[in-house]
Copies of this chain bind each other. A is one copy, B any other.
Amino acid sequence: MSELESITTNRAFGGVQGVYRHQSEATGTPMTFSVFVPEHETGTTLPVLWYLSGLTCTHANVTDKGEYRRACADAGIIFIAPDTSPRGEGVADDDAYDFGQGAGFYVDATEEPWAPHFRMRSYIEDELPALIAAEFPVDMTRQGITGHSMGGHGALTIGLRNAGRFKSISAFAPIVSPLDCPWGEKALGGYLGDDDRSEWRSYDACALIADGARVPELLVDQGDADQFLAEQLKPELLRDACDAAGIDLTLRLQPGYDHSYYFVSTFMADHVRWHAQRLV
């Protein structure tokens, strides 16, 4: 277990908002993440809500703009926000905003030059949960997961691949099918290679469902003024996949909302409460 370094801790909404760093074995880099721990009795443990961020983001975007702390404090839920990729001078990168650092897509890359560090699936699924379990007052039998855009893709795919682990899965404006949108084709093609697209299917929420992954229900909010809605996000594909599989999808098209944190923060408390009903 790598050593956990506390970068900042601030009292907020009765609890503590911390930012931490550790040396990741999965990515081979230092990784930074934030954790909000509500006020609680010493010795007790709290359920966990994971939040995976979107393209270009670090842990800081949702920590600054997500407006989750009041709802988490009210519900007694720990909120964890990881980074979206490995970073640093020795790490491969790309000039585009939608590939390379800040755009890890929650996959374990197999293609060069990405394979050595871009192992965000292993980091989020395995390494970081073990660190969280060891270092924070969490009840790991009560975990939920959510995320925004690329992070919504991450939440849906990680949730579907680990259905027993997560009692609740939601997303804000998720990329529901990387197999069927330009962001996904670029990222999965780059990180996994284009030779055998069947390998992409474990990184596609709709394909996972078509291939048999089952959860009882999903909650998705999507702004209808989102500039990426038609070309990249395509929530109707998730609706069709859930309909065919008998998964109870609550898909809410929110009138006038775009892709920004103004959208995410507006519906954040709803999502926290929805998870809390299933976790607390």
Contacts and interface: CB of A to CB of B under 8 A. Distances in A.
Contacts of A263: 10-12
Interface of A: 10-14, 17, 64-65, 67, 69-70, 223, 225, 256-258, 260-263, 265-266, 269
Contact of A11 (B13, B14, B69, B225): B225
B70 A11 contact: no
* Integer count of this chain's copies in the complex: 2
9 closest Cβ contacts across the A-B interface? Answer: A12-B262, A10-B262, A11-B256, A11-B257, A13-B266, A67-B67, A64-B65, A12-B266, A10-B260
Contact of A265 (B69, B225, B261): B69
A11 B260 CA distance: 9
Contact of A223 (B11, B223, B262): B11
A32 to B, nearest CB: 17
B64 A258 contact: no
A14 B223 CA distance: 12
Contacts of A262: 10-12, 17
A12, A65, A70: residue with the most chain B Cβ atoms closer than 10 Å: A12
